[in-house]
Structure 1
């Protein structure tokens, strides 16, 4: 485990920022030149990086990419291995709620960019992040990367999308961004000029279990997390975390969840993501007594219930999120599954939880 000074971050926490930059066609040599560091430093950052240096690097990436959603993109690229010991603690959690407790307990071992607190409010959970650098010029992207990273980690652990009731940010909305894009990422309402950076979730969502298949995928690192953390290099940790131990169906379902966040899942896209041919995917699904459309429709049904119960997304936005071309198609699909329309379902669940 890396122990860092009071104004530092663990070196692995740099990786989502660098990955975001490289995905947009950037080169490390250009970044190194503008940031005043060596390429070797970027390839293998020290165990501890000064916060000022991290924020300066984020500022350079912003200027080179001109990406108005840079913070959210960084959050999307965060992985458990970027969080040092906290990542291993999250891998041990059995529910999302337990995972949140680990964040509160071990956040300071990863960075000192800010502090987190949780408040319970009428059946909901309010996660609030207090930035230590709210006045910094890059604070907008910093706050969005932290909150975006938290919800993205929750998606990784749950193996599916996480519906939210509300995201709030202290900063103003940047002129070149759209509320629609923020709400697509947040999967709930998003507000700016607030008095806090926060995420509001239904308390029931935190009771969701972390699937056994996902915990098994991380099980190989548990003895090391307990006994050998000090002897592992960041590269070794990454290799252990990436071992392909999940069952085929679980992997396929996770890919469908990911593609639904990006657009419309297709057999060809999923096959490419899994490094297999569409014919192989079809054959293996048939052997398992399933099919691609069956898996897609089951996931759509599950997510539709979650969004209607636990998010403030409009039914039109939900239908788009689930890749239906028209709301009427979504309404027909939902009623065929649940014998009620989406609006009737949402009203029933609100009465139930009142």
Structure 2
């Protein structure tokens, strides 16, 4: 399976694209991504599609600094649940080591390594997309995001020894110099950031020792295995794709970078089919959505990927034994009907 990334990898993508005069929605559709799905930051999407989207956006806007413009808006919260633990680590070293060790929790393409030698610390990063393609923007976004994180710990006046990229210099390096300072270098042997090793010993000003234990306990409860199952990935993708009206096994397979037979084979090994997962996910979402009186049934039918409210009503009645409206009324009276 090809790597996935959290939706948060495209945080601020819509705003930055519009500010540069390009249409983010049309570009996202070209690579098979759904603009509406970006609202759910913890959902996973194709890393290949994200990489392609960044390159297309840079070309359409004629901005070689597109990835950096996104990185400039990065916040700790974009890392997802792991950010709550990182904020409470006692020093910069333990915070960065935590991010490196658990990088698969927020970006499966990312491979980072922290090393120290001769008084210098080096944070090297690479993106393993799973196929040969341009990834300049993705690399610059990643390096820029780590730079933002280090500044969050060390202060806005902190500056590294050097910021390195393996690709050549852009025609205009103004944004690079504004963000990184005069230390940015191109055509180097690796992508990453070099800094004084003593910076890693700096205490984390955001840390609260009283919260650290609770943060660690929370992290242990939500930490996932590096080997996320295909079943989990397909389930997440179904939830993301349902509102688009394009939730099919072909679309899921495309997002995973495989063919539909491969998806079928993995699901079968887990005792599931695509239809069973689709129905299970719809059922769980339907219970949540129909119970909310602020949601119209027409809106709910669209969010669940039905072509018409009548189709949703028939499916719901077969699944729950009564119509959505009746189920909602009974739920309001604390008398839900029995699921079949």
User: Which band: TM-score by shorter chain?
Assistant: 0.5 to 0.7
- Is the CA contact 2:55–2:137 (under 8 Å) kept in the aligned structure 1? no
Q: Does 1:177 align with 2:179?
A: no
Query: Partners of 1:37 and 1:6 in 2: how far apart?
Result: 15
Q: Does 1:143 align with 2:161?
A: no
Bigger relative contact order (CA 8 A; separation at least 6) = 2
State which of 101, 107, 112 in structure 2 corresponds to 1:116.
Answer: 112
Equivalent residue, structure 1, for 2:6 = 10
Aligned-residue offset at 1:209: 1.9
- Is the CA contact 1:131–1:143 (under 8 Å) kept in the aligned structure 2? yes
State which of 39, 64, 81 in structure 1 corresponds to 2:60.
Answer: 64
Equivalent residue, structure 2, for 1:196 = 190
Question: Deviations 1:297-331 (Å, cap 9, x if unpaired)?
Answer: xxxxxxxxxxxxxxxxxxxxxxxxxxxxxxxxxxx
What SS does the aligned partner of 2:122 have?
strand
Aligned-residue offset at 1:66: 2.0
* Distance change in 2, residues 1:227/1:114 (3 Å): closer
What SS does the aligned partner of 1:163 have?
coil
Question: Deviations 1:119-151 (Å, cap 9, x if unpaired)?
Answer: 212111111113324985441111111111001
State which of 107, 120, 127 in structure 1 corresponds to 2:103.
Answer: 107
Q: Does 1:82 align with 2:78?
A: yes
- Is the CA contact 1:13–1:82 (under 8 Å) kept in the aligned structure 2? yes
Aligned-residue offset at 1:197: 0.9
Q: Does 1:157 align with 2:153?
A: yes
Query: Partners of 1:115 and 1:149 in 2: how far apart?
Result: 14
Q: Does 1:128 align with 2:127?
A: no
Equivalent residue, structure 1, for 2:94 = 98
Which structure: greater helix fraction? 1
Which one has the largest radius of gyration?
A: 2
State which of 202, 209, 214 in structure 1 corresponds to 2:203.
Answer: 209
* Distance change in 2, residues 1:131/1:85 (3 Å): same
Q: Does 1:186 align with 2:146?
A: no
Equivalent residue, structure 2, for 1:280 = none
Query: Partners of 1:130 and 1:29 in 2: how far apart?
Result: 28
Query: Partners of 2:70 and 2:61 in 1: how far apart?
Result: 13
Query: Partners of 1:71 and 1:134 in 2: how far apart?
Result: 20
RMSD (Å) for aligned C-alpha atoms: 3.2
Query: TM-score, structure 1 length as denominator?
Result: 0.54
Equivalent residue, structure 1, for 2:281 = none
What SS does the aligned partner of 1:92 have?
coil
- Is the CA contact 1:165–1:188 (under 8 Å) kept in the aligned structure 2? no
- Is the CA contact 2:168–2:187 (under 8 Å) kept in the aligned structure 1? yes
What SS does the aligned partner of 2:81 have?
helix
- Is the CA contact 1:114–1:130 (under 8 Å) kept in the aligned structure 2? yes
* Distance change in 2, residues 1:92/1:41 (3 Å): same
- Is the CA contact 2:76–2:83 (under 8 Å) kept in the aligned structure 1? yes
Q: How many residues were matched structurally?
A: 221
Query: Partners of 2:175 and 2:33 in 1: how far apart?
Result: 34
Deviates most, 189-198 or 155-164? 155-164
* Distance change in 2, residues 1:57/1:227 (3 Å): same
Equivalent residue, structure 2, for 1:314 = none
* Distance change in 2, residues 1:173/1:209 (3 Å): same
- Is the CA contact 2:65–2:175 (under 8 Å) kept in the aligned structure 1? no
Query: Partners of 2:181 and 2:163 in 1: how far apart?
Result: 9
Query: Partners of 2:28 and 2:126 in 1: how far apart?
Result: 30
